[in-house]
Chain A
């Protein structure tokens, strides 16, 4: 399977828009015959990344825009999320201990756990470009249950 060209998608900074971004991502991963585990990991990481942008970078301002780029190759997928809000680097984030029952702070931890690479760079306008990379899992995976 050859590398696909970069695909792009834009959304408003509203949590209601996240589902559409997930559908866009999933359709392209399915077309490239990625397995269920990889699709789930990328859906989850994208959801967490977009929630962070909406809540923290844009502080809930629904009038802002988020740009996505997707590169799918036979060996790996990279999703790039670009915003122009307040800077955020997940590597600066130190998660609280997970052995206590708490209501928040799991997002960056999950993103790191399910991705192979998470890289953030500052953009010229002061925003952030976050790159999420997942290497394709080997072998055939069983279908997961979906409603």
Chain B
């Protein structure tokens, strides 16, 4: 998993690349625990994610809870078809905040 981060419109945009799988889970967990400071607005750009497994989904659910606990906000954006399919199969698409594009995700964070 490769990670790059930038600031856009008052939000941290974290671009993830590669597989969000069991091998990347600990790195992803630590990354999200760091960027989800109290009050932070975080967008995870998933456009370059090739595969997500149950471990990756679990980390994103944990991040969602952590954001709530810290008064922060996290949204997911631009998941490719196979990644979106995993959210559907686990029904986490009903619970996580997922947007088709980065721009829509940033707009939701700014609202």
Contact = CB atoms under 8 A, between A and B. Distances in A.
A107 interface: yes
A15 B17 CA distance: 18
Given A19-B19, A109-B90, A113-B89, A102 B61 contact: yes
Interface string A106-133: 1101100110000000000000000000
Contact of B51 (A47, A98, A102, A113): A47
Given A15-B23, A19-B19, A145 B80 contact: yes
Interface string B25-64: 0000000000000000000000111110111011101101
B91 interface: yes
Interface residues of A, number: 30
A12 interface: no
Contacts of A110: 53-54, 86, 89-90
A74 B103 CA distance: 43
Interface in B75-94: 80-82, 85-86, 89-92, 94
**Size class of the contact patch on chain B:** 20 to 34
Contacts of B49: 147
B12 interface: no
A31 interface: no
A24 interface: no
A32 B56 CA distance: 29
Nearest to B25: A15
Contacts of A99: 91, 94
A145 B49 CA distance: 9
Interface of B: 17-19, 21-23, 47-51, 53-55, 57-59, 61-62, 64-65, 80-82, 85-86, 89-92, 94-95
6 contacts: A22-B51, A40-B51, A44-B51, A101-B65, A106-B54, A147-B18
Interface of A: 15-16, 18-19, 22, 36, 40, 43-44, 47-48, 51, 54, 98-99, 101-107, 109-110, 113-114, 144-147
